A and B are shown apart, each in its own frame.
Chain A
Amino acid sequence: MKANGTVFKFHDNVDTDVIIPARYLNSSDPAELAKHCMEDIDATFVNKVAKGDIIVAGKNFGCGSSREHAPISIKAAGVSCVIAKTFARIFYRNAINIGLPIIECEAAYDGIDAGDTVEIDFDEGIIYNRTKGTQFKGQAFPPFMQKIIAAEGLINYINQGKNQ
């Protein structure tokens, strides 16, 4: 599995309220949520982001509310992966559960600028900065989570378990 796209860069502590403001939580439709992704931190984001693009952020990405609408809106906006120094734990869980790939990598944050073209090899856990010709080793998922990701989310994982 691979991802390839242009980088949008954000700072530390990007919270779920700016990822998808609560005023839009009266909908749970991914397409509707995608229209307002990152609206309160960068109102132009949804107009600029293209399918496959990548978010690179600082520490504690996705802090705050447990709203699964946050990773859903990012995935539905076309983002193929979020790389961050660290993730808030509920966001981390939610991203895995809905099948949005995420990688923790502190060095990648320092070595990647907005607009860079980045490729990610999820099997190897390697992040390639094609613009700068550098590469970074991200944190691989523990085996338990790899199974959930391989099943494309928690629901399928549980359904598979029932068939065994």
Chain B
Amino acid sequence: MGMTITQKILAAAAGLDKVEAGQLIEANLDLVLGNDITSPVAIHEMDKFKAEGVFNKDKIALVMDHFVPNKDIKSAEHCKCVRNFANKNDITNFFDVGQMGIEHALLPEQGLVVAGNVVIGADSHTCTYGALGAFSTGVGSTDMAAGMATGKAWFKVPAAIKFELVGKPAPWISGKDIILHIIGTIGVDGALYQSMEFVGEGIQYLSMDDRFTISNMAIEAGGKNGIFPVDEKTIEFMNAHSKKPYKIFEADPDAEYVQTYTIDLSTLKSTVAFPHLPENTHTIDQVGDIAVDQVVIGSCTNGYMSDLRTAAKILKGHKVAKQVRCIVIPATQTIYLKALEEGLLTTFIQAGAVVSTPTCGPCLGGYMGILAAGERCVSTTNRNFVGRMGHVDSEVYLASPAVAAASAITGKITSPAAIEGLQA
């Protein structure tokens, strides 16, 4: 029996010719990631190690992104702890305010992850880099500490689910609609302990930003990772962003999949996940009249350049509805600057939206857009759990940047197709 892409990458990283689902392996790591919430816990664990220092100062990335610029004194203490650790260990890839971005948008942009890499990160959305043909998965702080000290991590080789993407998506249909459709189909534990492997001719129609969004939310289906094969777009992206050598892995023709889903992208509609689980999906034509108090466009899921361009295209010449607060958060400083140069920020501000420095902020109910009891937000983020963005009696509806921007104009959850005079 052959191997999947994920299995091949893990076998190579473990120095083995062959692995199979269920096998426990120890793999060499190309990168270990942490943020301002998870790194302090890992650093505290590091203190318990008998080893001095880190395994490789170039293969650790520490990104201050959740509660920065520091939202309060405790957050400031956390960042100070990480800053001191980074200085003491001469960590090459420490990203503080001014250089930081939301970690999962930042690392590919900075060229720190390429195809064939094995990456662990103390953040559940570390699975984002599967878009580049890398194996990456979220872990906790103790695993991060062990990874920083030893450069290795143990894994159970996952079985795989294959998603065969066919057809071309209709206008306004993005990676977000595709992954919400998939989560709605298989459920929030549909890929538990397994790898999600995206294949098929439909992939050619997906931008790298679309693929990052899809891999990013693999965790919302319980997946260990979500991975794409490498094509011309991947190579073009890596050449533009990285000098690291990459290695392309392909699934064997006789690789084993526990299940295969075929998804015709041409039939998909804008999709919205209702509270309080990402699997509670409805297509836009079934949504009905749902008034919103806030719109968030950003996050590691949808704070990319193409997301901001889509939102600006819809908002241009319109005004955010009077009762709505619209918060736009570019995912990195580079995206922020590019959006400025392209005039997108002008469009947002003229429409009555606010534009924030890169931060995870409202996505996890940290700051920069917390909801009061009874309030409702349509958000391009990734989770809509109880209390995720604020009060336990608030609600988050997950949607694409196109739906979020259209909803900001009308004040209720709206399809971009319903905005008058707008061409996709």
State whether these chains interact: yes
Q: Given known contacts A17-B385, A66-B122, A158-B49, is B192 in contact with A88 (CB within 8 Å)? A: yes
Q: Is the CB of A22 within 8 A of B366?
A: yes
Could you mark each residue 43-61 of chain B with 1 if its beta carbon is under 8 Å from any beta carbon of chain A, else 0? 0110011110000000000
Chain B nearest CB from A10 CB (Å) reads: 12
Residues of B within 8 A of A75 (CB): none
What's the least CB distance linking B239 to chain A, in Å?
Answer: 31
Are the C-beta atoms of A90 and B387 separated by less than 8 Å? no
Q: Is the CB of A26 within 8 A of B193?
A: no
- A158→B44 contact, CB < 8 A: no
Binds B, one of A1-9, A56-64, A105-113: A56-64
- B225 to chain A minimum Cβ distance, whole angstroms, is 10
Contact A26 to B75, CB < 8 A, known contacts A68-B142, A89-B222, A97-B142:
yes
Nearest to A41 among chain B residues (CB) is: B386
- B192's partner among A22, A60, A159 (CB-CB below 8 A) is A60
Q: Is A86 an interface residue (CB 8 A)?
A: yes
B226 part of interface (Cβ distance < 8 Å)? no
User: What string of 1s and 0s marks CB contacts (under 8 Å) between B108-125 and chain A?
Assistant: 000000000000011110
* Cβ-defined contact, A154 with B146, below 8 A: yes
* Complex-state Cα separation, A66 to B124, whole angstroms: 5
Nearest CB on B from A135, distance (A): 26
Most buried by A among B50, B189, B364: B189
Interface residues of B (CB under 8 A from A): 24, 37-38, 40-41, 44-45, 48-51, 66-67, 71-72, 74-75, 78, 121-124, 126, 138-143, 145-146, 149-150, 154, 188-189, 192-193, 219, 222, 224, 277, 364-366, 383, 385-388, 392
- Sort A-B residue pairs by CB-CB distance and give the 4 closest, nearest first: A94-B140, A26-B74, A68-B140, A97-B142
6 contacts between A and B (CB under 8 A): A66-B38, A66-B121, A67-B140, A88-B189, A155-B45, A155-B145
Listed in ascending order, the chain A residues whose CB lies under 8 Å from chain B are 13, 15, 17-18, 21-23, 25-28, 40-41, 59-60, 63-69, 71-72, 86, 88-90, 93-94, 97-98, 142, 144, 153-155, 158-159, 162
